[in-house]
Amino acid sequence: MPIISYREALNAALREEMQRDDSVFLMGEEVGHYQGAYKVSQGLREEFSSRRVVDTPIAELGFAGVGVGAAMVGLRPIIEFMSFNFSLIAIDQIVNHAAKMYQMSAGQFHIPMVFRGPSGPAVQVGAQHSQSFESYFCYVPGLKVVCPSTPADAKGLLKSAIRDNNPVVFLESELLYNTTGEVPDGEHLVDFGKADVRREGKGVTLIAWSKMVDVVLDAAESLEELGIDAEVVDPRSLRPLDTDSLVASVKKTGRCVIVEVGWPMCGLGSEIAFQLQRECLDFLDAPVERVCSDDVPMPYANNLEQEVMPQVKDIVAAVKTVLYLD
């Protein structure tokens, strides 16, 4: 299998799906002439023309709404937000129209569309460009929410998202665009609702998604040096969530730490922790712990930015807590 970047894997998924299905098109700021703000759409305008790779004004509410309308009449739009922070401007179209249209029309209108782009912290982009949006969109019935952590999952999940007949919020990490990994050529699909055990272990379950998977894997290496055998589970899709796989891991290890780059209050880890304690109460040897970003807007200074986000040391400390090693 070729080794390519996360960015190239997304590009391959877009290209293959646009070749396969003429109803698929991409729309967003700078996706065409500029080749994408993060170069995910490189070369697509030249191959598919400006009719299918559409540069838009800086008007997220407007072009998200155009996408919903296009989906209602049988097209499969992919809406790129330059940053998911800008999706807040389009939240009415995503939540009140895309997510609800199938039910409100009594099944007359499917909304087969993808909202995609970078979410979460980058490097020194400030408080208004560093927010994580998983919990925002997982809250909404009618949406599917996906957070790939590897190039292979980026390709396979995006292809599945484009083919899905429901609106999918596809959250990419800007910090992962340059990472590389093996990615199957051609028809590579990853189903929603199927977690991936990234590392087998027996001593504690670590649950993380997107960029935090890499941090957790590094923490697992540090824990191994302390004689602690950690299992790392990546849900990949957050709605639907593969609760069965998470429960199976926690029943095996008896302890769990959930790591997310979002804020602690009402974070997605809270819901996962609730589901685990409901299903695994008799198997848990300690309360579920969470490691989140600090409960503050993201600082601009790089040293403070690093301190705000979950670090290996924070995960190791949380594992020691559930193992009663403090």
Catalytic (active-site) positions:
60, 129
29, 116, 166 from 53: Cα distances, Å: 10, 14, 21
**Residue 41 CB neighbour total at 10 angstroms:** 24
Helices (H), the chain: 6-20, 44-48, 60-72, 91, 101-104, 134-138, 151-163, 212-225, 243-253, 268-280, 302-308, 312-322
DSSP 231: E
Contact 292, 275 (CB under 8 A): no
- Please give the single-letter amino acid code of residue 140: V
What is the length of the chain?
326
Contacting residues for 305 by C-beta, under 8 A, at least 6 apart: 121, 123, 124, 130, 298, 299
DSSP 2: -
CA 174, chain centre distance (Å): 11
Q: Which tokens is 243 given?
A: 């609760």
Contacting residues for 301 by C-beta, under 8 A, at least 6 apart: 124
CA-nearest of 308, 123, 318 to 205 is: 318
Find the helix packing angle between 243-253 and 268-280, rounded to 10°.
60
